[in-house]
Amino acid sequence: MTVPIRVLAVDDEEPILALVRGYLEREGWQVVTAASGLEAVEIAQASAPDVVVLDVMLPGIDGFEVLRRIRAFSDAYVILLTSRSEEMDRIVGLTAGADDYLVKPFSPRELVARIRALLRRPRTSMGDPQEATLHGELAIDQRRRTVTLRGVPVTLTGTEFNLLAMLVSEPGIVFSRQQLLDRVWGIDFVGDEHLVDVHLGNLRRKLGDDATDPRFVETVRGAGFRFREDP
Amino acid sequence: MTVPIRVLAVDDEEPILALVRGYLEREGWQVVTAASGLEAVEIAQASAPDVVVLDVMLPGIDGFEVLRRIRAFSDAYVILLTSRSEEMDRIVGLTAGADDYLVKPFSPRELVARIRALLRRPRTSMGDPQEATLHGELAIDQRRRTVTLRGVPVTLTGTEFNLLAMLVSEPGIVFSRQQLLDRVWGIDFVGDEHLVDVHLGNLRRKLGDDATDPRFVETVRGAGFRFREDP
DNA sequence: CCTGGCTCTCAGGCTGCTCTAAGGTTTGAC
DNA sequence: GTCAAACCTTAGAGCAGCCTGAGAGCCAGG
């Protein structure tokens, strides 16, 4: 660790900024702060931080919009801070582009732990969404939004593609219906979680997959679904 | 990656150079900079860069003139940085010779993406930079900013050409409306993103393209648009 | 100052996807 | 074997997302 890690903390409440700053600097990290959304974007552009700790509730443009703008030029890890606990599962929605989230009030030690975990995570070399990932006979190209099965193109709807992409992003990992709703449908979806079943059914049909003996998407009874790892 | 890619960045504003340098070096590219037109030509001659990022507004001789002089001895990829306020006609006439362009203010991230796209693009016939790229019946000449459909010239407005050029730059890749706005209009554009639809509609009409059965620009529902790859 | 061309906003119409609801099927416990 | 819970499937109404046309503003050139 030669170059110090730079962290940008964004919150409109000064005490929270001070608290965060204290804990992060104790880790040997360099901390810059911003009190509004616009300021945050400017500073992010100027100082190119490695990590951004971002409150969602901000005066002016909100945290999600700040995130979008920062994402336009930076691959920094972003941790969202939200105060409404009922939204917490949903805030994690990767659709928003965040890497992690915390619910306020949070413990500063938890924040430090999360940042450490992020920094440990290998970065897929700067915004370079790999061409196409191959999973057995299934090739998935994120940038083209195309899927081919044994070389034959499969036509998926937007939701089906997003669902598949989400599952494929971490093969072998079980996603609950709620997690899938949060990440694919977004944080503000309301409705029956078994909607996932419907789209998964359509997806399986198009992939020629059988629910009782799946090659691609396995059902984990009582838990959710997972994409099969290549054997 | 045997020999590092060399990039020459030209701008009279020091902060912008620093920003660009930071992002490009993070890609593992070697960056040299110039702050004026004359300096740019000299350095280009001395260091033989693979890519030149060139601001149009320069003290002394402007970017167009720099481009002309560099073209005299180099076929490096050239990306022009234009500002939205500049007269479109002027740009239409003078960008001839550039391989790509970005509208200021741009996000450094976009710049990296554009350079990557250029480097991925196979150089057609050394020393004789491509006359026009051919996509089915559509010939697009970036340098003359002209388009012909089955040999017949098509008259496009500046925006229409820019939009087409952006889509064509990476055939098959899906661009979201937001991405197109960021890259063609600049990141400070405010307004409804469906503005893209309008210009795309005009573009399609001029290309004789049908939205429901497109030969050139496909709609990817819920995601954006993409230029069809040659089958 | 007028004219023409381009950009952008707005609203209506259409297509096809999404979601709901209900019934059928499988799984696992007893 | 029986039952309930969990899961899968189907079908259709509603609506989101997309396309297009019309027109108001804006700028450049005459």
Residue type, B218: E
Of A61-75, A150-164, A173-187, the range with the lowest mean pLDDT is A61-75
pTM: predicted TM-score of the whole model, two decimal places: 0.76
Of A28-32, A114-118, B110-114, B202-206, the range with the lowest mean pLDDT is A114-118
Q: Does the beta-carbon distance from B187 to A72 stay under 8 Å?
A: yes
Contacting A with CB below 8 Å, chain B residues are 15, 19, 22-23, 26-27, 107-110, 112-113, 116, 172-174, 178, 182, 187, 220-223, 226
Of A42-51, A186-195, B154-163, the range with the lowest mean pLDDT is A186-195
Q: Which residues of chain A does B108 touch, with a Cβ-Cβ cutoff of 8 Å?
A: 73
Q: Map chain B to HEC letters.
A: CCCCCEEEEECCCHHHHHHHHHHHHHCCCEEEEECCHHHHHHHHHHHCCCEEEEECCCCCCCHHHHHHHHHCCCCCEEEEEEECCCCHHHHHHHCCCCCEEEEECCCHHHHHHHHHHHHHCCCCCCCCCCCCEEECCEEEECCCCEEEECCEEECCCHHHHHHHHHHHHCCCCCECHHHHHHHHHCCCCCCCCCHHHHHHHHHHHHCCCCCCCCCCEEEECCCEEEECCCC
Q: Note the pLDDT of residue A39.
A: 92
Give the confidence band of A95 by pLDDT, cuts at 50, 70, 90. very low
**Highest mean pLDDT of the ranges A83-97, A110-124, B104-118:** B104-118
Q: Which residues of chain B does A157 touch, with a Cβ-Cβ cutoff of 8 Å?
A: 221-222
By C1' distance from the Cα of A191, the closest nucleotide is C19
Mind listing the pLDDT tens digit of every residue in chain B (231 residues)?
567 899 999 998 887 888 788 778 878 899 999 999 999 999 999 999 999 999 888 887 888 888 889 988 988 998 888 876 554 444 444 455 678 878 877 777 778 888 988 888 765 433 334 567 788 899 998 777 889 999 899 999 989 999 999 999 889 999 989 889 888 888 778 788 999 999 999 999 999 999 999 999 999 998 999 999 876
**Above 80 in pLDDT, residue A37?**
yes
Q: Note the pLDDT of residue B173.
A: 92
Q: Please tell me the distance in Å from A71's CA to the nearest CA on chain B.
A: 8
Q: Note the pLDDT of residue A117.
A: 67
Could you check: is the Cβ of residue B200 within 7 Å of any atom of nucleic acid strand D?
yes
The pLDDT tens digits for A146-156 are 999 999 999 99
Q: Does the beta-carbon distance from B26 to A157 stay under 8 Å?
A: no
Residue with smallest Cα–C1' gap to C17: A157
Regarding beta strands A146-149 and A152-154, do their DSSP bridges make them parallel or antiparallel, or are they unpaired?
Answer: antiparallel
Nucleotides on chain D within 7 angstroms of protein Cβ: 6-11, 17-22, 27-29
Q: Which residue has the higher pLDDT, A65 or B211?
A: B211
The stretch A34-43 carries a mean pLDDT of 91
Of A53-57, A78-82, A225-229, B147-151, the range with the lowest mean pLDDT is A78-82
Q: Does the beta-carbon distance from A72 to B110 stay under 8 Å?
A: yes
Nucleotides on chain C within 7 angstroms of protein Cβ: 5-11, 15-22, 26-28
Q: Note the pLDDT of residue A84.
A: 46
Q: Please tell me the distance in Å from A65's CA to the nearest CA on chain B.
A: 13
